[in-house]
Structure 1
Amino acid sequence: MRAAPAGLTALPGRPSSVLFVCGRNAIRSPMAEVVARHLFPASLYVASAGVQPGDRDPFVDAVLEEIGLSLGDRRPQALADLEDLNFDLAVTLSPEAHHRMLELTRSFAIEVEYWPTFDPTGVVGSRTQILDAYRDVRNRLEARIRERFAPEPRAG
């Protein structure tokens, strides 16, 4: 289990480290990583990778900028680029990523969750229609992240 970096505290009963994985680490997983870092900066160690590295997608930059977030100078990376897979949880966002993570983690104590997430690169139409597809992915990921990693309600 990867411990939360110094100064960070894990929520009771929640993972302290999460890896988001998709096919190319260009759209879904980096978007999830940035959103999760924004929502839970002091309680969750977050990273992302792809089965293979892809190319940075300008539509991701555009829809993140709309909500005040940025990828910064981050570039897509492959699972092979990670130092290790010592995370509490891997969230896979595509079938390819899910199958690959199950293969890679057979001998690890890592939970793997599959969140099927639409790939907006297949959308054709106007720039507005394409951006709408990316926004939908961003919004769905944000909602799922909030739901999955929110602190449990306190009794009493």
Structure 2
Amino acid sequence: MKKFYGQDVYVQSAGIRSDLEIDGFAIAVCSEIGVELDRHRTRSFEEMEKLGDELSSFDMVVALTPASRSQAEELTRFDHLELEYWPVTDPSGAQAGDGREAKLAAYRVARDEIVTYLQGRWGPPS
């Protein structure tokens, strides 16, 4: 989002769990479009709030998986936040035996779906 639309909007990435490393395939395919994730770290909704980012201070939550949608619905039920669900293909479903190029292709599909949702919601990159 920041790469496409600048720093005018405060964006925070959060998920259900914070115990996962950023996937190397995600880092690789995002780097292809100039989005650097190698210093990015995962954080949960709970961890994000502990760091001072209360969900109620945001205008919108975007969920990318059914599980994150469910948790976001629960967390935002008392807040006046817009919740959007962007069902994105899970690239981790690519089989280990398919090889590196097949995995990269699966991650590119997910990346491109997210880009399509971003542009559908906010227009072409500025």
Q: Secondary structure at the match of 2:74?
A: helix
Who is 2:35 aligned against?
A: 69
Unaligned stretches of 5+ in structure 2? none
2:7 and 2:100 map into 1 onto residues whose CA distance is 36
Please say if 1:39 is aligned against 2:4. Answer: yes
Where does 1:7-156 land on structure 2 (aligned, <5 Å)?
36-53=1-18, 54-83=20-49, 84-85=54-55, 86-124=57-95, 125-150=98-123
Measured after TM superposition, the shift of residue 118 of structure 1 is: 1.2
Equivalent pairs, count = 116
Unaligned stretches of 5+ in structure 1? 1-35, 152-156
% of aligned pairs identical?
35
Give the TM-score, by structure 2 length.
0.86
Measured after TM superposition, the shift of residue 72 of structure 1 is: 4.0
Query: CA 1:52/1:39 → structure 2, altered by over 3 Å: closer, same or farther?
Result: same
Structure 1 residues 50-104: Cα deviation after superposition (integer angstroms, max 9, x where no partner): 1111222100111011112201422111111113102101010001100101111
Measured after TM superposition, the shift of residue 42 of structure 1 is: 3.9
Q: Secondary structure at the match of 2:13?
A: strand
Greater fraction of residues in helix: 2
Give the TM-score, by structure 1 length.
0.70
Greater fraction of residues in strand: 1
